Every structure is written in structure tokens, then in C-alpha cells.
Structure 1
Amino acid sequence: MRQLLLLISFLVITVVIQAQFPKKILDKAKEKVNKKIDNATADKTPNTTPETKNEETSTTTKKEEPASFKTYSKFDFIPGEKVIGYEDFSTGNIGDFPAAWNTNASAEIITVEGKPGRWLWFTKHGVFIPEFPAPFPEDFTFEFDLLHGIPINGAGFTICIAELENVNQPQYYPNSTNQFTIELNTANTGTETGGTRFAGRKNSNTDIQNNSEAPMLNDHNNPAHISIWRQKERVRVYVNEQKIWDVPKAISKDAKLNAIVFSVSYAEETVKHFIGNLRLAVGAPDTRNKFLNQNKWVTHGILFDVNSDKIKPESYGTLKEMAGILKEFPELKVKIVGHTDADGNDAANLDLSKRRAAAVKTSLASEFGITETRMETDGKGESEPIDKNDNPAGKANNRRVEFIKI
């Protein structure tokens, strides 16, 4: 029987944070046994095996397939138009705390066998904040992957996006006037039910609270993809393909949100949290207007497996948006053009970009019924960058798909 795990009070903090903030973590953590260094570029082939041993939790888990593309049929999340913050931990050293973060606790960059890329493992309870450009606008999206080990009852994982008076003291985020907080309770009580909680504050006198079940948080073999979408006062929150909340009046439209705060109340040996692939993008999606009036739409919302033309299922909302326009205007024809960043071999990137564009065409035809003769494809590889290739956010902007009206 599934049971909902409720957080008793929004303002109760389960752990007293004693260290003063900010404190940059400068000491390199001890290298862990059996870690593999992985350069975690967007186009590197991941290690996949029938069984995956998680070296960080000392457990062996049977590898399971993530949700299929069709399970996202009701997924309507569309990322912002420009990536301004991106963190895949590829620029740091294994065992180090990432340079562009602050904390009053400790964490380290790791790899997990069988999981592509790098992860940040929170090794001590406390608060953690990435130094993304702020304040955030009234329209933005934020995404990240959450992988957890063997949680215990009540071992919640909290993310708060807030307007802090002092960004150097994020441990006091519960007191901020403008904020919304998401509690992801990955507790395993034997019923395989994960609890989630949302609380938004528009002013000092108004709280909005809600609770929900999120059983997908109990999948210890695959990361949960968390998507947050703010449009002025409205906030939507998704866990994988499921929309957990859609709150029309969750935050003041004038809120100058300036901090993303991760809070971990437990970080013992059997309670481990890892995050990866953080992505902050700004700009309200305006697909229809841009494509019809500007003859072009550039999207960063169609994502692929590393070094592959396989489309990730969380791209469904973006593809559905484009398919809707093509169905509304059956006379329209479109060229689909793939682009990569500058990592890797030029020829390989060109080939990859062409294959990815072809995969988008195939998906629009097979999943949404768009006639193939209405679509052409091409790829430019790394030859037409729209941002710098010397930092993760710039590379994320260069990895894109363009739809051009023909």
C-alpha cells in the first residue's frame, strides 16, 4: 500500500547548520577506490553493462531501462531559449569540490560505473549553491538529474529557488520572502513510495503548500530528471514524465530570485545523494511566433544520449510543440538542422549532427504523424557556433536543433 510521506512543517529544518557560509572547499577529497575518470563531454560514449555496480554506494544493482519515449506523451515541459547556467562537472577534478560552487558542508565530483558523465556527491549534510548568473528573470527553466543510493525514512532532498537578502548565507533560505521549495523524499519504507512536497511563498503572509506521491523517486538504478518551469507567478514541477505540480500563483511576479539552494539533511554512509547535468535556461518559449514570423526556431530542448542520435524521452514536450505547428499549418515545410559543440573530431561531429537531424525527422513522422516529405534534414557539426566553446554553458548553447521554414 502506497503511503504519502508528509513533511510536518515548512519552516522546520531537520539539521542545525553550524558552519559559517561561504566556505569554499579547497582540500581535495581522498580518491575513492575503483573510480574511473571520465571526461564527461556531451558526445562521449557511456559505459553500459547488463549489471551495474555502484562503486559509491558499494551495492550491485541490476541495470534497468529508463522510461520509454511514449511514457512522456503528456509531458509538456519546454526549456528556456538560452542556456545561462550549465554544470556537468567536466571542468573539475575527480575528488574535488567544484570551483563554481559554495557550501558550508562538503561534496566531491565522482563517476558512477554504468552512469554516463560526472556527478556531485553530497558527502556531508548542509547547503550547496551553484554560482549561476543572477538575478533570474521572470521566465526561466531549471533542470537536473538526481541519483540516490539507499535512503532511509525521512531522508529528504530539498531544492529551493529563492530571493535571498544575502546570497552568502543561503542556510537561512526558509526565511526569505520570495521563494519556492521542493522537497523530494526518496524514503524507502518497504512500500516503494516516494513523497514530494511543494511550498511557495509570495509574501511574508502567504504560503502555498501541496503534497504528492512520486514513486519514480524509488528507482535506484536510473536518475530522476527534475524539471522546474517558472513563468511569472506560475510554477510547474515535473519528476521524469510526470507533472507533480502546476501552481498558478506560486510566487510573486516581481520576485528577483537569485539563488538555487540544495539542502541535504542526511549524508550518512547509507544515505547518499548525487546530482548531475544542471541546466538553467531563460526566456519564455515562443515557438509559434518565432517560427511563423521569423522563419526559424532554435531549440535546446531536444536532447540526445551521449555520442548518439537517440533522442532522450524528456525531449517530448519540445517535439510536440513543433509537431503542433506543422499540424496547424499543413502547407508548411521545414528543414531540420543539427549542431554540435566543438569537442571531438570535426568529421565525427558533422556526421553526428546529420544523424541527429534525421532522428528528429523520424520522430516527428513516427510519433506525431508528420508527413516525411514536408521535412528535410542537414547537419552543420561545430561549424556554426552561436556561443563560445570554452565553457559548459556556451557548449550547451551550441548543441542545438534548428527548424527553418522552407
Structure 2
Amino acid sequence: MKWFIRISIASLLFLIYTIPVHSQLIKDLQKRAEWKLKQKANQKVDDAIGKTVDGKPKNKETSAKENDKSKKKAGDPDKTEEKETGAVTDSKGTSTKSFKSYSKFDFVAGEKLVVYEDFSKDAVGDFPLHWNTNAGGEVVTVEGSDVRWLKLPKEGVFHPEFIKDLPENFTLEFDLICTNPFSFYSTALMVNMVQLNEPSEFENWGRFIRSGNKGARFSIHPTSAGNGSGRLEFFWIENRKESMKNEVDVSQFHAKTDNIAHISMWRQNQRMRIYVDEEKVFDLPKAIPPSTKLNALLFTLGGYHDKADHYLISGLRLAVGAPDTRHKLINEGKYSTTGILFDVNSDKIKPESYGTLKDLASVLKENGVVKVKVIGHTDSDGDAGNNMELSKKRASAVKASLVNDFGIEAGRIETDGKGASQPVGDNAKAEGKAQNRRVEFLKQ
């Protein structure tokens, strides 16, 4: 009789502790089913791009023929024709966004860059040294990309331990790609900005919240009911409960490894803005309770994850402080920014720089008599002479953008470049190099 009572008690305890989890699983499946009903269930998933994550083309001959067909008849021989979305494909087969497509992009990076992670110091095949996880992952290369990526392949929590503070004013950016096709039933990537009492608590922030800590959770999924568009949600989490703030479908984010999505997040006290490429998907004025202290960033994947599906992230940038272009330039006479980004070893301005340039152009338009000198700076990688020449070209590219894209008079702007001769950060570190790759504006 005693053994029967013990088994009954054990079974009851098992049910008590598992019912909430199963209930959450059922709710999650119901939500996914509801999303699926909203879409055309018979729509086809985008064709596979013909590349694997390790950078080996499945069919080099086919890919080469497709590239040849899409070459421009005139103009830049390394660019294919611009699509309606503003996407451009370079000679490596990598899809990029055109500068003009960002005309409504108002994101401005924080004043001081404090974190830059490109996994350049980590060996391919290893999990990055300064991250922690309760799952797995590895640093990989991707064909057509000049940087390394962290592959997140399965359920778990991924913690960049070097981020120890997310103050009331910060910006966070990273690049994101995923495998294609990507199952609708595989988990979303969740970006958690949280409050940890101890670093070891990071493991509590899995799919099911078992922690009493506070935090904001932004989730992004590359497909919604198989129609190719992405789905995003934003939650505030407290006392083990998720409070939905908003959700939206995003057509720009597709499950293609040749289409890098740039994610930008901007907190100003309670307000949170989130962008996917040029589109502002959330602008929530009361997203975060007042005076909330957040001190950790976590990437998490939940359950239902197909083994073939995984996300890759790179170019993680954290900048703190509210940017004040007007005061810095007009009152202090100098404005320096790491928010104007360029392709590697190139003077081509990345389109996600649009918000920073637009902000600066607005200041110049409001102060029509002010003249400026634009000075480019590089990190110390490579030849000093080449860096000097590159810094001058980048300054000239910034001037050309201010003149051609924003209507600033060319006579108000002169340019110069200093190469790597005036570092402000440690060139032995990734974040130091990123700090040195800056553009300065001096009031004349």
C-alpha cells in the first residue's frame, strides 16, 4: 500500500510541475496555428538560394549563370540590377540594400561605442571565448561575407558576457541571416535585454521563463505561415509573465542566407524603437517601465527547432549615451561618430548610415552659415599609406552624400583624412578598431 501511495504522490507532483509547461506549449502551438490561418496556407516557400552556411555553393555553374544573366549592361560591372525593394546584388552574390531605400530611416547610433563583436579573434569551429551558453554553437564563415558569424543551431541561451550594462539611453545593432528554407514551426530568435542579479542566472531565460527577473524580449521569425514574410513581437517580462506590447509582419526579412538583415534597437528611457533594415517596425513610448535597470543581453532559441534551421549573427554594436549632434557641432565645434559605416576596405557608405547622415544634414540646414571639415579615420590594419588614402576617400564620400542626397552646398564642406594616425581606441581589440573607424566633423 505504501508503494502505491508514493507512486501516486510522485505522479501528482509531476503533473503539478509539468501542467504549466504543457499549457504554455499548447498556447504556443495554438498561436502558431492562428498565424497560419491568417495567411495563404498554400503559398510556396522561397526557393533555396543554393548555398550552404559553410560557404560551399551547391551548384557553382548554376549560380554563375544566374549572376551573368543579372549583370547590368552598363555602369558598375560588379552590380546587378536594382530590385523594386532597393536590393542590389554584388559580384559575390551577396544581397545588399540601396542607400535610397533608407530614406525614412531615422536611427542614430549612440554617442559612445562600447562594444563591437565580429568574432575576428575566435577560431572558426569554436564557440566564442567571451560568450557563455547552455547549448552550443560555433563561429563560421559565410560565402560572400567578409566577417565571421556565430551560428546558433538549437534551443538554448547565448550570453555575451562582456555586456554588463544597458543604460537608459543606448543603441544596439547586429546583422542577422538564417538558413533557407526555414520552417514556420521552428523557433523565433529572441533578443532579451534583461536584469540579472548574477551572471549565472542567464540560463533561466530560455523559452519558458523560470526567473523572477525583469526584461524586454524582442522576437523575430523569418517566415509567417510559409509566405516568406517575417514576424516580430515585443514583450515585457516580469514575475515570470510575458506581457505582449506589439506584434507585426515584416516583409523585408526573408529566409535567405544571401539577404543580410540589419537589426537596430534604440532605447531612450521608456521608449523603444526597433528597425529591420530600413523599416521601423516598433516605436513604443511605454515599452520599458521607468527607471528600469538592465544589465545583460541574451539571445535565446526555444523549442520546436528543426535541426536544419539556424540563425547567424555578427557585427554586434552597442553604443551608449543620447546622440546630440547639434550641441556637439554648433556649440562645442566638433562632432565625431562611428555611426557612418563603410564596406570593408572601401569608401562605399553602408545604407544603415542614413539616419546619422540625415541627422547631421538637418543641423547643417538649420545653421546655414556653418562650414565644416569632414575628416576620415581608419583602424591600423593594413598598410599605413593605403589607410591614409582610404580615410581621405571616405571623407570625400561623406561629403558627396551630404551634397547629393541631402542638398548641402558643396562649398560649405572640405575634407581630409588621417588614416590610423590618431587612434582613440586600442587597435588590438575589435571594439577599439571600431572606435577608430570614425568620421569627424569640425566646425570652421
- Name the TM-score class by shorter chain: 0.7 to 0.9
Match of 1:328 in 2: 366
Deviation at 1:381, TM superposition (A): 0.4
SS of equivalent residue, structure 1 residue 350: helix
Determine which structure has greater relative contact order: mean sequence separation of CA pairs < 8 Å that are 6+ residues apart, divided by chain length: 1
Is 2:152 the partner of 1:122?
A: yes
Whole-Å separation in 2 of the counterparts to 1:119 and 1:219: 16
Correspondences of 1:2-401 after superposition (within 5 Å): 12=24, 53-56=51-54, 60=58, 63=93, 65-150=95-180, 151-155=182-186, 156-173=188-205, 174=209, 175-187=211-223, 189-201=225-237, 207-220=243-256, 221-265=258-302, 268-401=306-439
Deviation digits for residues 158-183 of structure 1 (CA, Å, limit 9, x no counterpart):
11111123321223234454311111
Deviation at 1:270, TM superposition (A): 2.0
Structure 2, unaligned runs of 5 or more: 1-20, 27-48, 67-92
Paired residue type of 1:134 = K
Whole-Å separation in 1 of the counterparts to 2:197 and 2:175: 28
Q: Do the aligned partners of 2:263 and 2:275 also contact (CA within 8 Å) in 1?
A: yes
- Range with greater deviation from structure 2 (118-127 or 274-283): 118-127
Whole-Å separation in 2 of the counterparts to 1:121 and 1:351: 35
Whole-Å separation in 1 of the counterparts to 2:310 and 2:212: 28
**More helix per residue: 1 or 2?**
2
Deviation at 1:194, TM superposition (A): 1.4
Whole-Å separation in 1 of the counterparts to 2:241 and 2:149: 38
Deviation digits for residues 113-167 of structure 1 (CA, Å, limit 9, x no counterpart):
1122100111332110101242222111111111100210132111111112332
Whole-Å separation in 2 of the counterparts to 1:164 and 1:377: 46
Deviation at 1:203, TM superposition (A): 7.8
SS of equivalent residue, structure 1 residue 354: helix
Match of 1:18 in 2: none
Deviation at 1:388, TM superposition (A): 1.2
- Range with greater deviation from structure 2 (186-195 or 103-112): 186-195
**More strand per residue: 1 or 2?**
1
SS of equivalent residue, structure 1 residue 389: coil
Structure 1, unaligned runs of 5 or more: 1-8, 15-50
Could you say if the C-alpha distance between residues 334 and 390 of structure 1 is closer, same or farther in structure 2, counting changes exceeding 3 Å?
same
Give the alignment's TM-score, normalised by structure 2: 0.77
Q: Do the aligned partners of 1:361 and 1:375 also contact (CA within 8 Å) in 2?
A: yes
Paired residue type of 1:100 = H
Could you say if the C-alpha distance between residues 249 and 204 of structure 1 is closer, same or farther in structure 2, counting changes exceeding 3 Å?
farther
SS of equivalent residue, structure 1 residue 116: coil
Could you say if the C-alpha distance between residues 290 and 13 of structure 1 is closer, same or farther in structure 2, counting changes exceeding 3 Å?
farther
SS of equivalent residue, structure 2 residue 146: strand
Deviation at 1:364, TM superposition (A): 0.4
Whole-Å separation in 2 of the counterparts to 1:361 and 1:295: 18
Could you say if the C-alpha distance between residues 373 and 52 of structure 1 is closer, same or farther in structure 2, counting changes exceeding 3 Å?
farther
Paired residue type of 1:273 = Y
Give the alignment's TM-score, normalised by structure 1: 0.84
Deviation at 1:109, TM superposition (A): 0.6
Paired residue type of 2:200 = N
Deviation at 1:399, TM superposition (A): 0.7
Paired residue type of 2:191 = I
Deviation at 1:215, TM superposition (A): 1.6
SS of equivalent residue, structure 1 residue 359: helix
Deviation digits for residues 57-112 of structure 1 (CA, Å, limit 9, x no counterpart):
87657736322111111100011111111110000111111000000011111101
Deviation at 1:252, TM superposition (A): 2.4
Could you say if the C-alpha distance between residues 137 and 385 of structure 1 is closer, same or farther in structure 2, counting changes exceeding 3 Å?
same
Whole-Å separation in 2 of the counterparts to 1:401 and 1:143: 19
RMSD: 2.3
Match of 1:22 in 2: none
Percent of counterpart pairs with the same letter?
Answer: 45
Could you say if the C-alpha distance between residues 78 and 122 of structure 1 is closer, same or farther in structure 2, counting changes exceeding 3 Å?
same
